[in-house]
Amino acid sequence: MTATNPLTQASSATPRPATLAVIQCNSGANTQANQAQLSALIAKAAAQGAKLLLLPEMCLNMDGRQYAAMAEDVSLLDWCSAQAREHGVWLVMGAMPQPSPDGDPRVRSACLVFNDQGEQVARYDKIHLFDVDVGDRQGQYRESERFAPGHDWVVVETPYGKVGLSICFDLRFPEQFQALVNAGAEILVVPAAFTYRTGAAHWEVLLRARAIETQCIVMAANQCGWHDETRQTWGHSMIVDAWGDCLGTLAEVPDVLVAEVDLAEIAARRRAMPLKR
């Protein structure tokens, strides 16, 4: 596995204090309704000064039966681009279906990054697929039936720091996050649709652990509420600093969380407590 991507675009700007936002939504099976919800939340975050925004996993639609068609719908990419350009923000689309580049008939779950000009500058395809038995009302989750796994770690340079990309179930694999920090990541993003049952047990402790062991800022944007008669997600989107302290946490309804961070504090933390050998 590598930490490179042909779409990753370097920025010549020196990282500076950054205003970050995680957006929490409740997405259903109607893409247009989901877009309307997200547009309002993106505008709210931008109005509060956020410049780097993270959206949850599958925020445009949570109905897996639609994913193959969505992967071929370029208008969805145009919508993402327009949101970033209109608000002048770097927008991390947590995950959306995209075609598999290797011809696999399944789609990929892809985290896409758009700069403030609306240009797509990075893509990360989810490596660890959620094939588990949870014991909630849905019972089983088998992402590999619809999704093909990705293979490459991705770090993208932005004016607000180097951002390492992940998606949801990746959170349980610390070696991926260590690879991202080894490749220079200062901010780690975790877009998710973490289930209510697993979220209540593990969401916060895993996020804080990843922040502590990598000495990175962690941005975690989760879905919330009921999405159909069997699927419920945990919410509690949060931003965690490099010491493992939560800078803010949402509840279980759609909302935005904005926090200002200074990457100089990350460098100071790493000098004071060096973890690389």
Given a cut of 80, is residue 212 above it in pLDDT?
Answer: yes
Active site residue 204: no
Mean pLDDT of the chain: 94
What pLDDT was estimated at residue 277? 61
List the structure tokens of 12.
């010549």
Reported as type and span, the H/E element at residue 178 is helix 174-182
Section 101-111 average pLDDT = 97
C-alpha span between 98 and 145 (Å, rounded): 15
Exactly one of 57, 143, 186, 252 is catalytic; name it: 57
Could you give the domains of the chain? 21-272 (3.60.110.10)
Higher pLDDT: 164 or 276? It is 164
Section 198-226 average pLDDT = 98
Section 124-151 average pLDDT = 96
What pLDDT was estimated at residue 106? 98
Residues 63-100 have pLDDT tens digits of 999 999 999 999 999 999 999 999 999 999 999 999 99
Query: What is the strand order of the sheet 120-125 is part of?
Result: 120-125, 108-114, 90-98, 52-54, 18-24, 255-261
Given a cut of 80, is residue 3 above it in pLDDT?
Answer: no
Exactly one of 25, 80, 126, 157 is catalytic; name it: 126
What pLDDT was estimated at residue 276? 79
Active site residue 126: yes
Exactly one of 25, 111, 168, 216 is catalytic; name it: 168
